[in-house]
Structure formats: structure tokens, C-alpha cells
Amino acid sequence: MDYAQFDRVRAVAPGTHFLELLDQRLLPGQILQLRLTTASQVVDAIASLQVRGAPAIGIAGAYGAWLAALEFAEHSDWRTQVRAALLRLRNARPTAVNLAWAVDQQLALLDGAVDAASLVNAFKAKADQIRADDLAANHLMGRLGAELIAQGSSVLTHCNTGSLATAGFGTALGVVRAAFAEGRIKETYAAETRPWLQGARLTAWELLQDAIPARLVADGAGALLFSSGRAHWLIVGADRIARNGDTANKIGTLAHACAAKQFGAKVMVVAPFSTVDMDCKDGASIHIEERSEDELLSYGGVRTVAEGVRAFNPVFDVTPAHLIDAIVTERGVVQGDFSRGLKLLGSTA
């Protein structure tokens, strides 16, 4: 397929001595390219969701390491400074394993580095490789996932898993793109994804640019789509997949998956193998990020609920493996026994 036709934006792009990020807090109203020159700016951008989506924050973290090496290369204690910066990057957000996975690869390079100048080049090369591999993985997963979708199907997706959340093309949204290109998809529904509206602001915007017809639905409409037969698949990404297949993803995914299974629809999780955490035995071991109450109590900086109301704002939930029909990775598709299937894929590195 012509991938470029369905992949028009880039969330993360390196410059000569800086990193460009498309500010995802402002989309779609404002298109602002941020130019970051320090690792601490990258930490802030990840924590504040200027860059978000598990693969994209991994890529940003890898380039953040490169910026740290550039910044501290002339310091006598460069090794100590760079290590501290990398640990701050690693901890900028807790749930998406891709961030730790990417930064850990840079930490390994730091351990073996002989001087700061060669470290700068090694960090840049590793970040470029992580970015290129992610794009290639997404293209492959798009094809593999699309094969599972019967002609004339309609799908619901949640959050944003597209070019903005990855190196390009997307994971779950990559499958939607590939399946649409192959004429398999009748209708795509994007759930708005409260409170941050990744579905409404980002997914709907990406699909509009690709001229893929889509309809926005309220998060609570998922059950109606499945019960009425309007949607046949739930297709989502992941922030961390435990070795038994339990999958952490944006809050609301679990409710959609329960509804899909209740009414006979299918559930597909699409993620690069870097999102599979073989050290994590099950969903109960996954750290679920809680963010500020303000994200729920206000909208656009204006408080929408009575003063004194409190909120609880977990931003991910865990869908148990038994609710999932297929996990699509670039190493292959796992259906059925996820523990066995993921272990097998893990040994194919």
C-alpha cells in the first residue's frame, strides 16, 4: 500500500542539535512545532503530554538522552550528569514501558562509553534506529492486523494510536489505515477519550487528513455500538502488555472491551514488541499512572464542576487477556494462549 497517503504528520523529529515535537496539547486548533534543546525540556514535554503515546514517548526519551549528551559533553563529570538526566527521562511517565525500554538502551551505551563525543554519536544513532524500527513495525502490524478484519466491518478505536503516538502510521490506527486501504472497513468510530480527548482532538484529526471517513462518539457509546451490531471490532493500542497478555491502555479501554465481548464483537490489541514487558507477570503488577484532579475538574482551563468537588483520575486501565482476541505485534499475531505465544515471539528477537 501507499503508506505516505495515510501518514501525513510527525510527532517527533530530530534536527541538527535539537528535537522537534508537535505540541499535542494544542491540536487540532493550533499547530505548533516545539524546538527542544535539553533533556529536562524533554522530561517536561513527556510529563505534560506535549508528546504522548507509548512509542512516541520512547522515541522522545531516546532523543532526550542525545540532548543530555550534547549538553554535558564538555563537563568534567559528564558521565554522572548524563546518567542523572537519563534517569529523569526514564521516570517522566510510569505506565508506558516503551519509555523505560528506550532509555535503558541508552543507559547501556552510557555504561560502555569511553568519551562524551562518541557517546553523542552513539545516542543519536540508537535513537534514529528506535524511530526507524518503530515505523517499520507499524507498517508490518498494519498489514497483519488488517488480515483479521472481514470485508464490510466497522470498528471502534479509543485514544490516539496514530502517527502522533508513534514514529508514524500508528499501531491500532495503522491497522485501521491498512484495512481501510484494502477496502475492508465500512465505518470507523473514534471514542472521544475523556478527559484529555485524544480521540476527539487527535484521532479524528488524523483520519480527516487521510480522508478516512470516521465518526466521533462519546466514550459511553461503545456499548451501544457493539450491542446494535454497528461495530464488529474494538481495535486499540497498548502502554504495557504483561507476559500473560493482560494489557494496560488508556482509561476506558476496559469498558469498551467488556461491552465488545458481551455483545459478540472482537478485541484486537496492536503494539510493537517493545510494549510487551516480559518481566511483568500480569496486569495487577502494572503501575497505573494517576494524573492531576484538575484534568477532570476543568476544561480548557475553566472549572466545570462545583468548587469542593474532588476527582479520581487514573489514566490507564488493564484489560484482562481473556477479553482479548488477538495481540498484533511486528513479530507476529498471537491468538489464544497469550503466555505461550508471547514467550515464543520473545525468543524470536
Residues designated as active site: 239
- The site that binds ligand MRU (CB under 6 A) totals a number of residues, namely 17
Compose the 226-245 pattern: x for residues touching ligand MRU by CB under 6 A, - for all others: -----------xxx------
Q: Find the part of the chain contacting ligand MRU (CB under 6 A) among 34-42, 49-57, 114-122, 214-222.
A: 49-57
Closest CA to 141 of 252, 209, 236: 236
Site for ligand MRU in 108-147 (CB under 6 A): none
Q: Which is nearer to ligand MRU, 225 or 236 (CB)?
A: 236
Minimum CB separation from ligand MRU for residue 93, in Å?
A: 7
How far is residue 318 from each of residues 143, 159, 228, 324, 343, measured CA to CA in Å? 26, 14, 25, 11, 20
Site for ligand MRU in 282-341 (CB under 6 A): 315
Minimum CB separation from ligand MRU for residue 100, in Å?
A: 14
54 lies in the binding site for ligand MRU (CB under 6 A): yes
Q: Which is nearer to ligand MRU, 78 or 196 (CB)?
A: 196
Minimum CB separation from ligand MRU for residue 85, in Å?
A: 21
166 lies in the binding site for ligand MRU (CB under 6 A): yes
Minimum CB separation from ligand MRU for residue 238, in Å?
A: 6
Applying CB under 6 A, the residues found at the interface with ligand MRU are 52-55, 96, 159, 161, 165-166, 171, 198, 237-239, 249-250, 315
